[in-house]
């Protein structure tokens, strides 16, 4: 790289199993940064519901890009590279944060970013792989998920999240597991889903500077998690109101459609439906739900739920649109029972 070239844009990758709290931690970093500091988030998620990008759009991020319906460490690798190059060209931020899906292999993500370093002559550079550990549930899914173990092994930093919800003895057990998987990597406890940016920015990762990725780019890990969408929409009806009569691009007049804007979900009904889920089989439920007071973003992980007010755009007619993620072979069956309690359907 020429001596007068600008410094590379650092790329920080957040990995961690479903529901570990990656989005919350990323958003907690932003208020701690200088106001003029530009951060772009590239988000990869299961399913087709753009939840986290809509939530992030309500933050101080310069821009948010989301890659859906697949894992960008393998089957969607081309999309990740394209998205990073577009971010570089269109925004030239101070930092790019990548939030991977819960099934992503950090090693392959790091290796692919290293390739982009060479291809862009270090216009982009890997700063760190940061893995978020769910202290409440890690010892449960570690035994069944190859991905969870690899995420803990191939990383520059381990952030211990949700440790406040477990006993000291249970936390010691989690730490014992992590030291067995990865003895030397620093392990930092998040406080109220928050961490000091100075601890994780500027690490200048040395992972995979040379040679091939140590992990075979097998896409079978993507099959660890099954996803379905639960949807409820009010029926569209033709309107004879002259105010709804409009013309299309060809100038032909036709009747418009209206939706019953009063249709909504009772919060107790949603709570009852969520309470019926098995956190051993359903790992995550996230999406949009319309209540009497307006739209909210639902975020449920391993039995804990959160509703965040949402004032952004919503698809007309929608009442419920959520993605459910969990154990393959169990999700569709359990999602149908959940949907029935809300009068919704699995699509």
In tens, the pLDDT along 167-213 reads 999 999 999 999 999 999 999 999 988 999 999 999 988 877 765 55
Q: Is the pLDDT of residue 8 over 60?
A: yes
| pLDDT value of residue 212 | 53
Looking at the chain, the whole-number percentage of residues with pLDDT higher than 90 is 48
pLDDT average, residue stretch 292-300: 90
User: CA nearest 65: which of 75, 77, 80, 78?
Assistant: 80
- How wide is the angle at C-alpha 88 spanned by C-alphas 6 and 11, nearest 5°? 80
User: CA nearest 299: which of 6, 15, 20, 16?
Assistant: 20
Q: Name the one residue in this structure whose structure tokens are 């939840």.
A: 51
In tens, the pLDDT along 52-64 reads 556 556 667 888 8
| pLDDT value of residue 58 | 62
Q: Is the pLDDT of residue 257 over 60?
A: no
Q: Are 266 and 305 in contact (CB under 8 A)?
A: no
User: What whole-number distance in Å separates Cα of residue 127 and Cα of residue 113?
Assistant: 10
Looking at the chain, the whole-number percentage of residues with pLDDT higher than 70 is 79
For 164, residues 6+ apart whose C-beta sits below 8 A from its C-beta are 192
| pLDDT value of residue 329 | 87
Q: Is the pLDDT of residue 258 over 50?
A: no
Least confident of 96-105, 201-210, 233-242, 268-277: 233-242
Q: Is the pLDDT of residue 254 over 60?
A: no
Q: Is the pLDDT of residue 221 over 70?
A: no
| Confidence grade of residue 270 (pLDDT, cut at 50, 70, 90) | very high
Query: What token pair was written down for 120?
Result: 């862009």
Look up the pTM and report it: 0.78
Query: What token pair was written down for 116?
Result: 């982009």
| Residue 287 backbone zone (phi > 0: left; psi -120 to 50: alpha; other: beta) | left
In tens, the pLDDT along 99-146 reads 988 777 788 888 889 999 999 999 999 999 999 999 999 988 777 788
Beta strands in the chain (DSSP E): 9-15, 39-45, 63-68, 95-99, 124-134, 157-161, 187-189, 225-233, 237-238, 246-247, 253-254, 257-258, 282-291, 294-301, 304-309, 318-327, 345-346
Q: Is the pLDDT of residue 277 over 80?
A: yes
Q: Name the one residue in this structure whose structure tokens are 């030397």.
A: 184
Is residue 121 classed exposed, middle or buried when 0-12, 13-18 and 19+ CB atoms within 10 A define those classes?
exposed
Q: Are 133 and 46 in contact (CB under 8 A)?
A: no
State the chain's mean pLDDT as an integer.
82
């Amino acid at each position: 790289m020429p001596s007068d070239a600008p410094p590379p844009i650092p790329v920080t990758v957040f990995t961690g199993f479903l529901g570990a709290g990656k989005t919350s931690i990323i958003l907690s970093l932003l208020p701690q940064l200088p106001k003029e500091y530009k951060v772009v988030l590239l988000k990869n998620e299961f399913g087709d519901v753009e939840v986290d990008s809509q939530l992030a759009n309500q933050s101080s991020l310069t821009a948010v890009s989301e890659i859906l319906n697949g894992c960008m460490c393998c089957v969607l690798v081309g999309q990740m590279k394209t998205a990073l190059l577009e971010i570089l060209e269109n925004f030239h931020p101070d930092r790019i944060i990548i939030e991977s899906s819960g099934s992503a292999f950090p090693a392959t993500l790091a290796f692919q970013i290293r390739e982009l370093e060479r291809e862009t002559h270090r216009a982009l550079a890997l700063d760190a792989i940061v893995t978020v550990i769910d202290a409440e549930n890690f010892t449960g899914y570690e035994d069944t998920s190859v991905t969870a173990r690899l995420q803990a092994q191939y990383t520059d930093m381990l952030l211990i999240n949700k440790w406040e919800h477990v006993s000291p003895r249970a936390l010691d057990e989690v730490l014992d597991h992590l030291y067995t998987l990865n003895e030397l990597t620093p392990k930092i406890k998040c406080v109220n889903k928050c961490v000091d940016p100075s601890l994780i920015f500027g690490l200048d990762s040395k992972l995979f500077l040379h040679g091939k990725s140590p992990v075979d780019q097998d896409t079978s890990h993507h099959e660890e998690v099954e996803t379905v969408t639960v949807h409820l929409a009010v029926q569209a009806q033709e309107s004879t109101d002259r105010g709804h009569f409009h013309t299309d691009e060809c100038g032909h007049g036709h009747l418009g459609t209206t939706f019953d804007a009063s249709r909504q979900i009772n919060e107790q009904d949603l709570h009852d439906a969520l309470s019926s889920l098995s956190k051993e089989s359903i790992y995550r439920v996230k999406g949009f739900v319309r209540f009497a007071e307006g739209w909210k973003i639902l975020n449920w992980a391993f039995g804990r739920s959160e509703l965040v007010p949402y004032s952004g755009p919503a698809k007309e007619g929608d009442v419920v649109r959520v993605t459910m993620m969990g154990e393959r072979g169990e999700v569709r069956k359990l999602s149908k029972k959940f949907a029935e309690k809300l009068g919704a359907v699995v699509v």
